[in-house]
């Protein structure tokens, strides 16, 4: 008597789908949010350095319309969490050199998140550390906040851009291990085509 084994296809989980079928769309959306946030910090820095506005009046683009955004530690912390979760969630699709650069961005964002958690704690408890009059992060003791966040966003965004470039244009060896559909003509993109 022959037995037949039925293969049971398990539904793909969200993170798995995010790193295969949806990776290009998710990566594009995540990159857009990251670059838009960095642009906000560039505008804020330009308002301080080029337009000679007081630091408290440098609000960026969105802060000019919604001034409370600049002073909302919850908003800044929320963005740090979104960045951290995005970097973690999209990591599995990266391979080779692209994964190294993406991991570098993730490590910097982990520290950036910790700094924002410290700022949020101070804002919520009204107990500023280091004898400062306002919530202050550790590295902010060395760099002013406008410059510090510009630096943080740069050292997260630059390796992200390098990772995305290497992910979209991998070497032949790295393209062979790609699981997502980002690489045109890659094995994952070809297997996703209708038969």
In a domain, 105, yes or no: yes
Within-domain flag for 151: yes
Instruction: Tell whether 11 is covered by a domain.
Output: no
Is 139 within a domain? yes
5 within a domain of the structure (yes/no): no
Domain with 114, as residue range(s), is 22-179
Are 105 and 27 in contact by the 8 Å Cβ rule? The answer is no
d(CA 47, CA 61): 10
* Any domain includes 62: yes
Tell me if 15 is assigned to some domain: no
Q: How far apart are CA 27 and CA 36, in angstroms?
A: 14
When pLDDT is averaged across residues 120-138 and rounded to a whole number, the result is 93
What is the percent of the chain where pLDDT is above 90? 50
Q: Is 0.85 surpassed by the pTM of this model?
A: no
Contact 122, 136 (CB under 8 A): yes
Least confident of 88-97, 113-122, 166-175: 166-175
State the chain's mean pLDDT as an integer.
86
Q: CA 146 to CA 50: how far, in whole Å? A: 13
- The number of folded domains in the chain is 1
Asked if residue 56 has pLDDT above 90, the reply is no
| pLDDT at site 175 | 84
37 domain-assigned: yes
Nearest to 79 by CA among 91, 62, 64, 65: 62
């Amino acid at each position: 008597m022959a037995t037949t084994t039925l293969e049971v296809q398990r539904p793909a989980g969200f993170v798995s789908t995010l790193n295969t079928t949806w990776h290009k769309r998710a990566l594009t959306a995540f990159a857009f949010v990251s670059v838009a946030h960095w642009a906000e910090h560039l505008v804020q820095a330009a308002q301080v350095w080029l337009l000679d506005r007081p630091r408290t009046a440098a609000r960026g683009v969105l802060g000019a319309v919604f001034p409370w955004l600049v002073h909302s530690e919850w908003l800044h912390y929320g963005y740090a969490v979104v960045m951290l979760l995005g970097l973690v969630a999209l990591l599995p699709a990266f391979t080779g050199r692209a994964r190294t650069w993406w991991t570098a961005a993730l490590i910097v964002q982990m520290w950036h998140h910790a700094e924002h958690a410290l700022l949020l704690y101070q804002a919520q408890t009204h107990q500023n550390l280091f004898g400062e009059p306002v919530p202050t992060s550790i590295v902010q003791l060395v760099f002013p906040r406008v410059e510090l966040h510009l630096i943080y966003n740069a050292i997260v965004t630059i390796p992200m851009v390098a990772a995305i470039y290497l992910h979209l244009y991998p070497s032949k060896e790295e393209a062979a291990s790609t699981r997502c559909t980002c690489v045109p003509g890659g094995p994952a993109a070809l297997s996703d085509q209708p038969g």
